[in-house]
Amino acid sequence: MKFGVALVALAAASQLRLMHNSFERPHYTSIAPESHPIDLSQYKDDFVVRTPYTSETLDFLRHNNYRIWSQNGLKRTLDVQMNASSLAHYGSRFDTSKAEVIIPDLAQAIYETYPESKEDFKIENTDFHTMSEVFFKNYRDLEDIHQWLHLLEETYPDMIKLEKIGDTYEGRPFRLVHLSVQDKDVDHGEKKTVVITGGVHAREWISVSTVLYSIYAMVRHWEENPHDSKTLAKLDFLFIPVLNPDGYVYSWETDRLWRKNRQPVVGGDDGSCRGVDIDHSFDYHWTPSSDSACGEEYAGETPFEAYESRLWDEYLNKTNEAHKIYGYIDLHSYDQEILYPYVYSCEHSPRDEENLIELAYGISKSIRWTSGKYYAVSPACLDKDSDLLPDLGSGTALDYMYHHRAYWAYQIKLRDSGSHGFLLPPKYIEAVGEEIAAGFKYFCKFILTSGEAFA
């Protein structure tokens, strides 16, 4: 059998790494279950394996409902959540000799991403900067995020406006943050709009924190560099920190690794499946998903079936004249990559591909100068293997925004390169925020100096 020796070696390596793993907190099993943030027993004995893949192995994993964390088309590896039984099932069909365990104790890694206590964040303290110093020490649930954003709006009413553009399936407000520096010499219609989104996939908490940190960094820059006011006044910013509110709440309260939104969908053995992958729901080269209705990449039955993608599109249609979008950045995790269009196919090159590549490398260099971290640059189609399985690159926000709305558009996959995956410890929130803020500033400067060609 293919998995025999390799499987034993892999299991042994997992146990060895587990023995030497230095946890940030006491092990979750030493704490009463009623004190756990969610039911951690659902991840007991699970680990994450990185393995080489082919179209055959990818198809097997998807159709057997394995939880695929990441697919790196450049390195030809998959990160897959497994346990001993599912690994044996996979190993009975495919060679596991080159597989490695990257997260040996999934339940503990999940436990450590939740705040130890909510007592460290009290909105009664009305000093915005003092609050922000505390705010970014941990990941924050939706309630804390809304409180922080309201404090931000109260502190800077001339610059910040919170806009509700609709309600999700579960009735939560779909909000964006409109940041605009006022200048009597700059007409609003002349401003170039930049859009930053995060939290499309619920489990990618670092993307949410990084959008919020980008707002904070922008406000801080404005305060510390008043001479830049006229420059900033030429730009209009739309931030959507949590593009998937229902899924985000579900990841905090029920399943830390939930990806999709939470609307009911047709399919599954009992019709009880929930969720559409928002990032496969946009109406540009949309393709029905080969994933099952219960699968994590399920695209729905029609474009814009996901509530959130439809609300975002309707908002853009209503405000198209007011917001001339020049730049779009969609933050995800993980892999440390800057991806440019198109996702749906490598056979079609984007307009001004050379300029897109130049700007992407400029962003990457700014990040490296700030933190020393390297973010690779590549076309998104290679990352998604779109030419291998077309539906993997269909209906993405990146392609839709680039084709219909934005002159410059990127998806940035944040830290790390795999040792933590979606479970990046909170101690890295500020570091990731700082490096992306540096890249964001470069992005804005580039737009201001190069965007005239598209006016």
Structure tokens belonging to residue 133: 């110093």
SS3 of residue 232 by DSSP: helix
Q: What pLDDT does residue 291 have?
A: 78
Q: Which pLDDT tens digit goes with each residue over 233-265?
A: 899 999 999 999 999 999 999 999 999 999 999
Query: pLDDT band for position 322 (50/70/90)?
Result: low
Average pLDDT taken over every residue of the chain: 89
Residues whose CB falls within 8 Å of the CB of residue 304, separated by 6 or more in sequence, listed in order:
281, 282, 283, 310, 313
Q: What pLDDT does residue 12 have?
A: 47
Q: Which pLDDT tens digit goes with each residue over 122-173?
A: 666 568 887 888 999 999 999 999 999 999 999 999 999 999 999 999 999 9
Q: Which residues pair with 197 in a beta bridge?
A: 240, 330
Q: What pLDDT does residue 341 have?
A: 96
Q: What is the DSSP letter of 350?
A: P
SS3 of residue 175 by DSSP: strand
Strands 173-180 and 160-167 turn out to be: antiparallel
Q: What pLDDT does residue 3 have?
A: 46
Q: Which pLDDT tens digit goes with each residue over 257-306?
A: 999 999 999 765 555 789 999 999 999 999 988 878 888 889 999 999 99
Query: What Cα–Cα distance (Å) separates residue 314 from each residue in 188, 319, 432?
Result: 21, 9, 32
Q: Which pLDDT tens digit goes with each residue over 33-80?
A: 999 999 999 999 999 999 999 889 988 998 888 999 998 888 889 999
Cβ count near 228 (within 10 Å): 12
Q: What pLDDT does residue 440 have?
A: 97
Higher pLDDT, 124 or 386: 124
Structure tokens belonging to residue 304: 């814009």
Q: Which residues pair with 378 in a beta bridge?
A: 339
Beta-strand (E) ranges in 104-253?
Answer: 160-167, 173-180, 192-197, 235-240
SS3 of residue 137 by DSSP: coil
Higher pLDDT, 10 or 194: 194
DSSP 129-163: HHHHHHHTTS---HHHHHHHHHHHHHH-TTTEEEE
- Report the candidate in 311, 246, 300 with the shortest Cα–Cα distance to residue 277: 300
Q: Kindly report the backbone phi and psi dihedral angles of residue 413, in degrees, each rounded to the nearest multiple of 5, phi listed first.
A: -95, 120
Q: Which residues pair with 414 in a beta bridge?
A: 333
Whether the per-residue pLDDT at 11 is higher than 60: the answer is no
* Residues 250/274, Cβ–Cβ less than 8 Å: no
SS3 of residue 47 by DSSP: strand
The model carries a pTM of 0.93
Residues whose CB falls within 8 Å of the CB of residue 115, separated by 6 or more in sequence, listed in order:
121, 138, 139, 140, 426
User: CA 387 to CA 287: how far, in whole Å?
Assistant: 13
